[in-house]
Amino acid sequence: MQDSIANASRRYLTLTLGSESFAIHIDVVREILDYTDITRIPQAPPFMRGVVNVRGAAVPVVDLAHKLGLGEVKRTINTRIVIMEVSRDGVPSVMGALADSVREVLELNDGNIAPPLRMGAQAKADCLRGIGNHDGRFILILDVDRVFATDELLDMAGLLTSASSDADAQVSV
Amino acid sequence: MSLDQAALAFREEALELLEEVEETLLSLENHPEDPGPMSKLFRAMHTMKGSGAMFGFNEIARFTHEVETALDMVRNGRLPFSQDLASLILVSRDHILRLLGETGSNPRLRGESDKLILKLSEITGQTVGEAAAPYSETGPGIDTDSPAEADAPICTWWIRYRPHPDSFLSGTDPLCLVAELTEMGPHRVIAHDAAVPDLISLAPEHAMVWWDILLISGANEADIRGIFLFVEDEHEIQVTRLATSVLCQQDLDMSVRRLASSDWDDAEKLKQEVAGPLAAALPRRTLPSPSPVEVEKTEPAVTATTIRVESARLDRLVDFVGEMVIIQSRLQQTALTRDDSLIRTIAEELDRVVSKMRDETLRIRMLPIGGMFGTLRRLVRDLARNLGKQAEFIAEGGDTELDKNVIDRLKDPLVHILRNCVDHGLESPEARLAAGKPAQGTVRLQASHVSGEVHIEINDDGGGINLERVRAKAEEKGLLAPGEPADDRRILDCLFAPGFSTASKISNVSGRGVGLDVVKVSIEELRGQVSLESTPGAGTRILMRLPLTLAIIDGMQVRVGFERYIIPLAVVRACQERHCQDEAVPVDTISWQGQMTPCLSLRALLGVTGERPRYERIVIVRSEGVDMGLAVDAVIGQQQAVIKRLSEVYRNVDFISGTAVNGDGSIVLILDVSRLTRHAMVHYGNSGVFKRRSQIHHYPEIAGGLSKA
């Protein structure tokens, strides 16, 4: 019993964004959806792709690639929305992450996880929790709480709002 | 609140307190040294005593007083807390629960109270007389039970009952009579079935069994015989008083054994055998022994008629029902496209159930607004006293029901308004007398249902609003141009502007410059409206109109490009259409009712991609007192939408008040029209579009508030 709990806590879901592999701790993953229509929310920053209906709830979807500075997730047959339960400012909330594809669930021992590099990786280092080594492959482990930190999302949204109102300033009658 | 309602409220409160008592006691048994729970227990009993006496539950008040006394002694360290005491208090708690179920006075329960009080006094060491003295703080207004009932002694009765063999044929079920008898108090029933023959010779329609019943009750012989009133002539009934007290377990057991082995004909002999030893033994015992009451309790337990549920749970339930409504409508749509009458029937049946279920579920969240009247009454009273004024608060329509979320968020605005009424509205008693009004002012709150809305009206009979002063202030604040013609309504509207206050000096009550604007914003967040009327010298009237529930709105669905939005139907006034050619601009004008009216392009404002159609629909809405057009690609239709809040991460998004789910499972956004209007006024207000229709106050404060709302 103890053993299986320990195993569970070492499990990660891997997904791809562009050419890179990322891993998310399995505990935060609630479900994985095929790509469905995402309802865009006006005034939100581009990486906030909108909301999807997850059994009646409007769950915000973040374009992970865009958020990490890796371009944009394009809609393909492999595109998935990973629904996660994250803690934002200590409050649990459900968020979706758009990924190019979802691969597998694998186990990573803590010994196989190195702290994130300050440079080198393409993704923004502050969203990483570490770099895992699985059979010689390197996998970037995402710190989902950081990725979905409210301040960051809000900052971006705030920037956009002010930008858009500047643009609106030209008025025609 | 009528007296009945008060009694009901007391009962509910008491049930909660009793629950608390039980929990606390149980936790206390684990941590007896902790003083906190003991005080909590004491307080619970004290409250119950006080409220009980107030609402005429005299027996509860009397009994609880004794429990409270014991608890007080423990609390003050004069009595050690023991397991015995804990169990006794638990038993007492159960007893109070039973007392709660009685409407009138019940001599049997009174007797039980007395017994428990005796036991308590054993532990507390107080003399019986002192401890059992009736609760004296009830005051003269509440009379205790009539002496006759109070004096009815508890006796142990022996009833021997043999039904007539043909009793079934005359429609009498002897068991019912026995059951009725056993409802009179703790009892032992012995059924004698020796006369029942073998199955082979059994005549099932004949009653062959007879009974001995030992009953502990405050009833007298006539009461007992009363049960057999209609069968007395044919059935055989003997009622004997065994003892003028409650028999202890041991004596009961002995009597039961003796009776069980007896024949019908030994009655006389038995009377000697059973009653004799008892008569000898009883005087030696001064107190009834522990538990003659442990015979099966047959009285129905009092259960709460309401259940307290965490409101988050209700919200989840509403969510699920909302989902179900959506899935149902998908099913319905699918069924219509199939040529399968069975599926159609099922879909229709489900539709009926689901819509009923939705209504019921939403109703669960409805609470009467009267719940907050107490606080408001207190507020008016305290305020008036502080300000040296005399005010009476009259609240009507307390049973008007509103969604709990609305009620929770209504309190602050109401407090604000009432403060204004008492502070600014009502004059001092002298001024009132001088004006020929009674010294005591009246603040009246009326709540009512009006065609799918709830109206809350607050009137005061004070001096009304000084329009001249408001005007002067408005000009000073730049809300009105000096000398600009404005009717009364327009001037009153200025009161709702942010930071507006006419009180020349700031009091600690109101007039800090936040007030009506906050009220307006809060009410609008509830999708309600607030308006104000004033008659100089006669008073002020504030009317709040609120939707019944926050969970569902009637909306009009529109399409812009590939995106869909819902405009709340409450703000929609009309639809128009127009040809167009150029690129969409955020704001232009249309002609509506012969007036130049601003028109917002949703396409431009919301940043919708795609080509603008040649032919645009325009939905005319009224918000913030302004008529305005919203240009869309198409109007899809009217629908009821179950509102879901938008996630916190979209806190900075201005124009969307929530989301709803379409029949096909897609999400549609609900537009916040008043925010849209304000945004347009702030950003395009100086373009002249809004001014032309006039009457728009441009509040510089809003601009600051909007970008970081």
B155-187 pLDDT per residue, tens: 788 888 888 888 777 777 888 888 888 877 778
pLDDT for the residue numbered B643: 77
* Model confidence band, residue B451 (pLDDT cutoffs 50, 70, 90): low
Using DSSP's 3-state secondary structure scheme, residue A97 falls into: strand
**Highest mean pLDDT (candidates B69-73, B362-366, B669-673):** B669-673
Report if residue A171 sits inside a domain: no
- Please report the pLDDT score of residue B136 as a whole number: 39
Most confident of A160-164, B10-14, B307-311, B411-415: B411-415
Span between the terminal Cα atoms of chain A, in Å: 71
Rounded to a whole number, what is the distance in Å from the CA of A55 to chain B's nearest CA? 7
The closest alpha carbon to B337, from B664, B612, B565, B579, belongs to B664
Q: How far apart are the C-alpha atoms of A67 and A22, rounded to whole Å?
A: 13
Domain B3-142 - what CATH class?
A: mainly alpha
Instruction: Among B18-32, B37-51, B266-280, B311-325, name the one with the lowest average pLDDT.
Output: B266-280
pLDDT for B294: 44
**Is the pLDDT assigned to residue B603 strictly greater than 50?**
yes
Q: Residue B552: is it exposed, middle or buried by C-beta count within 10 angstroms (0-12/13-18/19+)?
A: buried
Tell me which of B705 and B272 has the higher pLDDT: B272
CA distance B405 to chain A (A): 19
Q: Identify the residue with better confidence: A95 or B644.
A: A95
Given a cut of 70, whether residue B146 has pLDDT beyond it is no
**pLDDT confidence of residue B5:** 67
List all residues 6 or more positions away from B136 whose beta carbon is below 8 Å from its beta carbon: none
pLDDT of residue B522: 83
Res. B615: pLDDT tops 80: yes
Boundaries of domain holding A43: 2-161
CATH of region B368-547, choose from 1.10.287.3510, 3.10.20.600, 3.30.565.10, 3.40.50.800: 3.30.565.10
Confidence check: pLDDT of B444 > 50:
yes
Q: What is the pLDDT of residues B263-280, one digit of tens each?
A: 777 777 777 777 666 666
Whether this model's ipTM surpasses 0.90 comes out as no
CATH number listed for the domain at residues B153-294: 3.30.70
Tell me, what's the pLDDT at B635? 92
Interface contact flag, B654 A168, Cβ < 8 Å? no
Instruction: State the pLDDT confidence band at B499, using cuts at 50, 70 and 90.
Output: low
CB pairs under 8 A between A and B: 109
Tell me what pLDDT residue A52 has.
Answer: 92
Distance CA B552, CA B92 (A): 47
- Cβ B502 vs Cβ B470: under 8 Å: yes
pLDDT of res. B422? 85
Mean local confidence (pLDDT), B648-659: 80
Give the fold, CATH level 3, of B552-707: SH3 type barrels. (2.30.30)
Residue B212, number of CB atoms within 10 A of its CB: 24
- pTM summary value: 0.50
Domain ranges of chain B: 3-142, 153-294, 311-364, 368-547, 552-707
Average pLDDT over residues A92-105: 91
Predicted confidence (pLDDT) at residue A162 exceeds the cutoff of 80: no
Residue type, B276: G
pLDDT at A61 over 90: yes
User: Between residues A148 and B541, which one has the greater pLDDT?
Assistant: B541
The mean pLDDT value of chain A amounts to 78
CA distance B61 to B68: 10
- How many domains is chain A built from? 1
Residue A53 included in any domain: yes
Contact between A165 and B707 using a beta-carbon 8 Å cutoff: yes
Q: What is the pLDDT of residue A153?
A: 59
| Residue A157, domain member (yes or no) | yes
- Across A53-62, A158-167, B560-569, the highest mean pLDDT is recorded for B560-569
* Lowest mean pLDDT segment, chosen from A67-81, B400-414, B659-673, B684-698: B684-698
Residue B141's pLDDT band, with cuts at 50, 70 and 90, is very low
What are the φ/ψ torsions at residue B411 (nearest 5 degrees)? -65, -50
- Residue B69 pLDDT > 70, yes or no? yes
pLDDT at B641: 78
Q: Is residue A103 part of a domain?
A: yes
Is residue B702 over pLDDT 50?
Answer: no
The pLDDT of A42-63, averaged and rounded, is 87
Q: Taking each helix axis from N to C terminus, what angle separates B249-260 and B267-281, rounded to the nearest 10 degrees?
A: 160
Q: Nearest-CA distance from B254 to chain A in Å?
A: 57
**What is the pLDDT, as a whole number, of residue B688?**
54
B607: nearest CA in chain A? A42
- For position B567, what pLDDT does the model report? 92
At B698, the pLDDT band (50, 70, 90 cuts) reads: very low
Distant-in-sequence, close-in-space partners of A164: CB < 8 Å, separation ≥ 6? A43, B607
Secondary structure element (H or E) that encloses residue B269, with its range? helix B267-281
Helix (H, G, I), strand (E, B) or coil at B95: helix
The string of DSSP letters for B179-233 reads HHHHTTSSEEEEEE-TT---GGG--TTS---EEEEEEEES--HHHHHHHTTTTTT
A41 interface with B at CB cutoff 8 Å: yes
CATH code for position A128: 2.40.50.180
Whether A97 has a pLDDT exceeding 90, the answer reads yes
Average confidence (pLDDT) over B672-700 = 61
Report CB contact under 8 Å: A172, B652.
Answer: no
Query: Is residue A80 scored above 90 in pLDDT?
Result: yes
Indicate the average pLDDT of chain B. Answer: 76
**Alpha-carbon span A114 to B109, nearest angstrom:** 74
Residue A71 belongs to some domain of the structure? yes
Q: Answer whether residue A170 is part of any domain.
A: no
State how far residue A122 is from chain B, nearest Cα, in angstroms.
Answer: 26
Best interface-test mutation with B: which of A88, A148, A165 has the largest number of B CBs within 10 A?
A165
Is A49 among the domain residues? yes
Distances B652 to A148, B140, B181, B259, B439 between C-alpha atoms, Å: 15, 63, 71, 83, 51
**Is pLDDT of B218 > 80?**
no
